Amino acid sequence: MRPGSTILIHSATGGIGLAALSLSLHYECDIYVTVGTREKKEYLRKNYPQIPDSHMGHSRDTSFELMIKRETKSRGVDFILNSLSEDKLQASIRCLARGGQLMEIGKYDLAIMTILSILCL
């Protein structure tokens, strides 16, 4: 990571998500997040005013993919901290910039041996 790197942090109000937010802010990254509830979004607004509303998406569906494409002008992000599964994992992969890195911290898809579609990269 370096200043200006872009990162998508899923489930940003969880323990790992908050730690990733702190590191990303320290490295002056351009941060995108997802959360599961309106209350969690309000928490981020209050405690992390550096993250604009346009960089906050929903983690319960794949709408964050459109947010990333729109906000990065279809470039995608350099890093993704992923804890989502199934169709949301596939959407996350599609959010990666060319040469981007996916850091997978979930285990559901790995436990059931899901085949990742990374040919689009």
Residue 64 backbone zone (phi > 0: left; psi -120 to 50: alpha; other: beta): alpha
What are the domain boundaries of the chain? 6-111
pTM of the model: 0.87
pLDDT digits (tens, 9 = 90+) for 39-93: 999 999 999 999 999 999 999 999 999 999 999 999 999 999 998 888 889 899 9
C-alpha gyration radius of the chain: 13
Q: Which CATH superfamily is domain 6-111 in?
A: NAD(P)-binding Rossmann-like Domain (3.40.50.720)
pLDDT digits (tens, 9 = 90+) for 3-44: 999 999 999 999 999 999 999 999 999 999 999 999 999 999
Give the residue among 11, 1, 4, 5 at the shortest CA–CA distance from 104: 11
Tokens encoding 34: 């997802």
